[in-house]
Amino acid sequence: MSAESEHTDPTDARLTGANGFPELPAGPADEQALYWLTLISSGEANAGHRAAFQDWLRADPTHHEAWRRAQALWRDIAQLGVAAPMATATISDAHRSPRRFGIQHLGLAAGVLVAAVLSSNQLGLWLADHRTAPGQQLAVALADGSQLLLDTDTAVSVHYSDTRRLLELHRGKIWCRVAANADRPFEVSTGQGTVRALGTAFDVAEQDDRTEVTVYEHAVRIDLANGAHLPMLAEGTAVGFGEGLEPVNAEADTTTASAWHRQQLQYFNRPLSEVVAELNRYRRGRIFLAERDLEQLRLSGIFDTSRPDEALALITESLGLHAYQLAGRWVFLRRG
């Protein structure tokens, strides 16, 4: 192939659709910029791809701005604590020699973004006695007669002795209905503290170094990891605690809080950032907000957790947003 033919058309299938690479999307410049950032940073781009990228940049002044917005998005993702190896890519990276990792098929970001859903807590997930994958729930009858319900993407270990019943929640969310036994206290521990049941039914959720407890029946006692003791948490109340978070008991909407028991998510006038964070727990991959001002859009609705992609479609339609998908898992929401 001559040098001239490499620069003929930045959407040439020989450059963007060959060797298993997905083709350059025909959508807006922002989507195309994400495509190029993914491809160039993957180490799989060849000389033809890099030449086509330069052609794309020169084809329209708006492409430069779209490229900068794509880089800014990945920097924002990195600041949120998820892996974004493309965040440091620059226009000059297009001239570098490609690194080869033996990837057979790019899958457009599957290999590059997979770290975004992995964390150090993954070890606890695999070593746990009971665990669920994204989108799954699991009911468990414990040896003492207590009942346990694991929500999606949850891992819990059971440590029973003659004097104590301890559940170690590595991540996720559980509901407990405790069988009475005054001689063997029932406790749930997280990295932020320990919840002791006082003859009760309650939820415990652990995510992002934060624990939330909601009590449906009777009460619980909570001891924080720093040695502090919280006031007794009574029926119909909830509390969140973690490093740098001041615990305050608050009245709980138990119907909404328990919706996940029925495979539902219920929201009334909640910010989109909160809804997306919860929906991310129920699907493989990840949903990103490509524009910061989307975070505070308000949303109300009831969604089926067993059909997270349908929920995503409803959210996108109701708010007038556009969803751009990479590899079928990574979804970027932006204004239409």
Q: In 3D, which of 179, 217, 186 has the Cα closest to residue 201?
A: 217
Residue of 72 and 168 predicted with greater confidence: 168
Last residue of a domain, one of 82, 117, 152: 117
Residue-level pLDDT at 61? 86
φ/ψ (deg, to 5) at 36? -65, -40
Residue 257 forms part of a structural domain: no
> Exposure pattern of 143-161 as b/e (b: 16+ CB <10 Å)?
eeebebbbbbbbbbbbeee
Local confidence band at 199 (pLDDT 50, 70, 90 cut-offs): confident
pLDDT at 125: 55
Residue 328 lies in a domain: yes
Residues 269 and 239 grouped into a single domain: no
* Within a domain: 190: yes
Structural domain range at position 321: 263-335
pLDDT at 110 > cutoff 90: no
- What is the share, in percent, of the chain residues with pLDDT greater than 90? 50
- Whether 215 has a pLDDT exceeding 90, the answer reads yes
CATH of the domain at 310: 3.55.50.30
Return the closest-CA partner of residue 178 out of 169, 189, 168, 187: 187
- In the listed set 94, 117, 140, which residue is the last one of a domain according to the structure? 117
Could you tell me if 57 and 67 are in contact, meaning their C-beta atoms sit under 8 angstroms apart? Answer: yes
Higher pLDDT, 164 or 88: 164
Task: Single out the residue in 92, 117, 142 at which a domain terminates.
Answer: 117
Do both 139 and 223 map to the same domain? yes
Give the C-alpha separation, 203 to 257, whole Å.
9
**Residue 322: both structure tokens together:** 């556009």
Angle, CA 75 vertex, CA 73 and CA 81 arms, to 5°: 110
Residue 258 lies in a domain: no
pLDDT at 197: 97
Are residues 317 and 239 located together in one domain of the fold?
A: no
327 within a domain of the structure (yes/no): yes
Domain count, the chain: 3
pLDDT of 78: 54
